[in-house]
Structure formats: C-alpha cells, structure tokens
C-alpha cells in the first residue's frame, strides 16, 4: 500500500492524466450502454422467434458475440436475428478488439507505467538528511568528486529537472531528486538548510537561476558554479555565488607553468598559512644528472623536496631518484626559503640558451588561457585551431587540421621546444601525442585530459606531462567543501592536517616511515602553540601534536585508511 500511494499520486498529478482517465471511463460507459441495448434487442428478437431466455442469458449472449468467442449454444433462426448478430459482432470487434485495448493502453496502462517509473525518482529528501552535497549534473568532474565524498563520509544527491534524466541516473545507482531548479520550494525539499555545499555545472542561465533560488532561502551555504563567459560571471556574482569554477583558466595556467624554461623558478601552487607549496623543474639547473640526495636542496636553500612527478603521479622523493631536465618536483617551506631556492637554483637566460617556443594545439578557452599565461612568462607561442571563429589571436594563429604536416611546419613545430595539446577530446589528444612524438622525439609534450581514465594512455602515447581536467575540477570543489581543514591543489596534491597517530607517537620522522607506507610526506608539526616547518630526520613526533602532510589524493586515502582510527586525543 505504501508503494501504491506515490504511484497513484504521480499518476493523478497531471491534468492530462486526469483527462485521459475520464475519457477511458466515458468509453467504458458507452460500452456498458451498448451491452444493455444489445441485450434488450436480443430479448425482443428471441421473443419474436418464439424462444424464451433470461436477462442474464441476454447479457451472456451479447458479450460472447462482441468478444468473438461465439459459443454457438444460443442462435437465431431468422435472417433478422442473424443480421442483428452481425451488427453486434462488428460493434464488438471495433470496441473490444480495437478501440478499448488501444484506449486502455494509451490512456491508462502507459501513464500508469510512467507513474511507476516516476515514483522511483523522489521529489524530496528525508528530514534527517544533513551535511550533504547537492549537484545539478553528472560528468567527469563529479565522477571523481563522488569518490572523494564517499571516502570522507559526505552524502551527496543529484538534483535534476526532469523525470527521464532522473530515471537514467537512478539506473546508474546515483542518488537523485527531481525538482524545478529555479523553484525555491525545490531546495526546501532537498533540505538546503542542512546541506554542506551546492555545485551547479549546467548552462550559465541555469547556474544563475540555481544560485539565485538557493540564496532566497539560504544566505550562507557555499555555492560553486561554472561560467563560460564574463557576463555569466558577473550575473553569478550578483546572484550570490560563493566561488566560480573557472576550470579553463586554471587549466591554461597549469599547462603554461609546466613549460620548461631556462629562466624558470619555483612556481607557488598553494599556501597553508605560512607553509608554502611550490613546484620546480630541474631544467637548465645544476640539479640535472644528480640524485635527490646529492642535490642537498635543504642545506642550500632550506626547502624540502616532498614529492616528485612520475608519469602523472606524485610519489614520495627517493634519495636515489635522478633529476633530469623534464623532472618536476614539489617543494615545501616558507616564502623566504622558496625565494632562497629561486636565488640559488633559478637560472637567468643567457645568450647561449635556447629561446623556448611553444606550439599550442587548440585555440578554445583552454588554449587561449594557456597563451595568456605564457605571455606573462614572456615565452613565445603559436596556436593551431581548426575553427576560425575561435581565434582570439589572429596574428599568431594558424587555421587548419593539426595533423597536417605542411601546417605544422608553418606553425613552427620544428622550432618548438614544447607542444601543448588542449583539445577536449581525449582520443584526438592521444592520436596527436603519438604523431608529434614521432616527429619531435626530444620535444616536451604536455597534454590536457578530460577523463581521468585516459591519463595513463596519454603517458604511454608519449606525453611528458598530462593534466586531468576532471581531477582539477573535483579538487577545487572539494577544497571549498573542506575549507581550512585541508588544501587540495589543482594538480591533485593534497595538503592535510591530522593529530599524530598513536603508533607514531615518540618516533622520529625517519623511524615513522610514513612516506614508504602511505606515499605522504610530513611537512609541518604543530605542538605547544607553534608550528615547526624546518623538519629533520631526527625530529620527534609529539603525543599532543598535529602533523601536516602532503601527497596525492590516493596517498591521503592510504594514510587515513591506515591511521584514521589511531589518532592521539588532543
């Protein structure tokens, strides 16, 4: 009975369903009237022939003839009676075999089945729902975000405007709610006052309506939205958005930052109070050809190497790891220590250095953002774009297919020290990476990747670095959710704090073996009201302390799985 009530409610909630049901009842009424008239006619004709039957027999005869069962146990002997039988039979064929089944299926059965399906997509959440994340669309970014939310115990729901979309997501085992995205009552039903975050990634107009509608009933909840134009950004800010997810701009800056350059220094990618996280490369420094231990960066600058990028994955630094010109590593320290590193290792171009030149494949929003970031670094670039209407820099752009050899020559591929592939199609990026690696074996190739699953494929194709669009977006959203609890950088580097786990209390950093066991590196220790960033192998882990660690998202998950239930009580 409980399951039947929402189905009936869904069936009767639309005006069309009610009208169709009324039409079906009218048709049944007409059928009942015909059965009555034919039964009366049966009696009159039978009496005329001298045959006597009950009224029940008349109804029985009418239904057997109309349904074409035709038992033959009751028959007319006159031509008039047989002609009457033909009329009853023809009417029955039209009504019972054609009109009534079609009407029943169209007006009742099909809407009833749709109502049953719609009942699987709820229109509100239980009153007890709290600390949940509401998303308006499922895609590559939210696919990764879901894994993060599940790992950290955050419930989540997708709010969609149509039943078919909800049923599709329901079939994929995604928690979904149906509702008008521009109706404030919808957000009352999804318990917006008890939610932790709203993420809307639909069109600019819908995102603005969602933001405005949520703000009508909740002024404090964080709202993250995507925007595809400056006008949309302005509208979202006026509507009350907390943060605008400018993935194209962030991706372009990250791609440009990875270009090796003779004058490059450590690039800051995040801060956690006085702790600074930066990224650097060994290109054109005296670090090339040395192991991490031989570089002795701590003694020379005060910074600590806390991770090295290997095939798109951040791994703890191994003292024996050799640094080459394409090695990128993560540094931690204070701003002064980063400045010291740049003074010691950051090189200034001289006349003998090869002037870096970048060929950008794809001139859409990501490609244009990459070009602007390269301008800030004063690095020369050209763009190849297939669609002429996307060109923002005509004087430095070439229109055509990026796989045509003659166009590549015109665009200066033979001079390019770095090739950046920015198209949104992973298959195209893989094809171009293979092609360019054959043409330029020694060039640096950096590629954008839309779907996380294709990162390893692009590395196998020959890319030196691959930045995942989905990873970057999920990380930025999760940052907003966690607030000051941790720092999740766009490149998938997680900086988080936790009480010292009981098994590690009293051990030195070297004895704890945290990097080898989890993939994380300890970068700061808080104890007695002060933060120690200048850590050494013999630094002790205090019982009443907090430790700050850095690692990939996967490394953070391994650390939490190993030590989350064994933290010391502060």
Q: What is the pLDDT of residues 301-317, one digit of tens each?
A: 888 888 887 766 777 77
**Residue 488: is its pLDDT beyond 60?**
no
Question: How many CA atoms does the CB half-sphere of 254 hold within 13 Å?
Answer: 27
At 478, the pLDDT band (50, 70, 90 cuts) reads confident
Contact (CB, 8 A) for 353 and 325: no
Q: What is the pLDDT of residues 354-374, one digit of tens each?
A: 677 999 999 888 999 999 999
**pLDDT score for 353:** 54
Determine the topology of domain 357-470 in CATH: Rossmann fold (3.40.50)
What does the H/E/C string look like for 207-236?
Answer: HHHHHHHHHHHCCCCCEEEECCCHHHHHHH
- Supply the pTM of this predicted model: 0.69
In CATH terms, is domain 492-566 a member of 3.30.70.1450? yes
Give the three-state DSSP class for 541: coil
Q: What is the pLDDT of residues 2-33, one digit of tens each?
A: 444 554 455 455 566 667 667 767 777 887 88
Contact (CB, 8 A) for 481 and 499: no
Determine the topology of domain 262-345 in CATH: Alpha-Beta Plaits (3.30.70)
Two structure tokens written together for 238? 């006026």
Establish whether domains 4-119 and 262-345 are of one fold. Answer: no
Domain extents for the chain?
4-119, 133-245, 262-345, 357-470, 492-566
Q: Span 480-491, mean pLDDT?
A: 60
- The residues, any chain, with a CB within 8 Å of residue 252's CB and separated by 6 or more, are 365, 366, 367, 368, 369, 370, 371, 372, 373, 422
Contact (CB, 8 A) for 379 and 371: no
**pLDDT score for 1:** 45
Q: Give me the CATH code for the 133-245 domain, please.
A: 3.40.50.720
- The residues, any chain, with a CB within 8 Å of residue 345's CB and separated by 6 or more, are 265, 266, 280, 285, 286, 287, 297, 300, 301
Q: Span 164-184, mean pLDDT?
A: 87
- The residues, any chain, with a CB within 8 Å of residue 131's CB and separated by 6 or more, are 154, 155, 194, 195, 196
Give the CATH number of domain 4-119; options: 3.40.50.720, 1.10.287.70, 3.40.470.10, 3.40.50.300.
1.10.287.70
At 327, the pLDDT band (50, 70, 90 cuts) reads confident
Separation of alpha carbons 377 and 391, rounded Å? 21
Two structure tokens written together for 64? 């057997």
Q: What average pLDDT is seen over the chain?
A: 83
């Amino acid at each position: 009975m409980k399951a039947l009530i929402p189905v009936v409610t869904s069936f009767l909630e639309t005006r069309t369903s009610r009208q169709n049901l009324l039409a079906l009842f009218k048709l049944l009424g007409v059928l009942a009237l015909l059965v009555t008239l034919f039964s009366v006619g049966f009696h009159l004709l039978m009496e005329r022939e001298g045959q006597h039957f009950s009224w029940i027999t008349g109804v029985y005869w009418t239904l057997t003839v109309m349904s074409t069962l035709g038992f033959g146990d009751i028959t007319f002997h006159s031509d008039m009676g047989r002609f009457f039988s033909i009329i009853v039979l023809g009417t029955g064929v039209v009504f019972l075999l054609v009109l009534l089944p079609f009407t029943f299926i169209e007006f009742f059965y099909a809407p009833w089945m749709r109502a049953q399906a719609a009942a699987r997509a709820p229109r509100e959440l239980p009153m007890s729902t709290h600390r949940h994340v509401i998303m308006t669309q499922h895609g590559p970014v939210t696919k990764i975000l879901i894994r993060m939310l599940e790992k950290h115990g955050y419930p989540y729901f997708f709010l969609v405007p149509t039943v078919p979309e909800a049923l599709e997501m329901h079939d994929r085992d995604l928690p979904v709610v149906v509702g008008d995205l521009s109706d404030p009552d919808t957000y009352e039903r999804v318990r917006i006052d008890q939610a932790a975050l709203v993420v809307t990634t639909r069109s600019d107009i819908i995102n603005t309506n969602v933001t405005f509608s949520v703000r009508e009933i909740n002024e404090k909840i964080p709202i993250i939205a995507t925007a595809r134009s400056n006008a949309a950004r302005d509208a979202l800010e006026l509507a009350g958005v907390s943060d605008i997810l400018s993935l194209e701009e962030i991706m372009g800056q990250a791609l440009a930052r990875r270009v090796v350059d003779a004058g490059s220094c450590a690039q800051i990618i995040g801060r956690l109070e006085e702790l600074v996280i930066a990224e650097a490369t060994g290109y054109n420094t005296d670090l090339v050809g040395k192991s991490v231990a031989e570089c002795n960066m701590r003694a020379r600058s005060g910074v600590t190497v806390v991770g090295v990028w290997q095939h798109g994955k951040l791994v703890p630094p191994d003292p024996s790891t050799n640094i080459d010109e394409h090695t990128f590593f993560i540094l931690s320290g204070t701003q002064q220590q980063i400045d010291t590193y740049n003074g010691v290792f950051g090189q200034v171009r001289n006349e003998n250095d090869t002037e870096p030149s970048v060929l950008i494949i794809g001139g859409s929003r990501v490609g244009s953002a990459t070009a602007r970031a390269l301008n800030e670094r004063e690095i020369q670039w050209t763009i190849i774009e297939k669609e002429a209407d996307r060109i923002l820099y005509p004087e430095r752009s070439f229109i055509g297919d990026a796989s045509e050899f003659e166009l590549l020559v015109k665009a200066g591929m033979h001079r390019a020290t770095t090739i950046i592939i920015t198209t949104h199609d992973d298959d195209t990026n893989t094809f171009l990476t293979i092609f360019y690696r054959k043409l330029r074996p020694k060039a640096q190739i950096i590629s954008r990747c839309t779907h996380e699953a294709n990162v390893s494929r692009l590395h196998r194709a020959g890319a030196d670095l691959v930045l995942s669009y989905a990873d970057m977006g999920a990380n930025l959203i999760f940052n907003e959710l966690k607030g000051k609890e941790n720092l999740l950088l766009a490149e998938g580097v997680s900086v988080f704090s936790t009480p010292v786990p009981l098994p590690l209390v009293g051990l030195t950093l070297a004895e704890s073996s945290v990097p080898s066991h989890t993939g994380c590196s300890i970068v700061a220790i808080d104890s007695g009201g002060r933060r120690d960033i200048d850590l050494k192998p013999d630094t002790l882990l205090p019982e009443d302390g907090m430790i700050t660690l850095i690692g990939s998202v996967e490394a953070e998950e391994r650390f939490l799985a190993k030590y989350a239930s064994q933290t010391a009580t502060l």
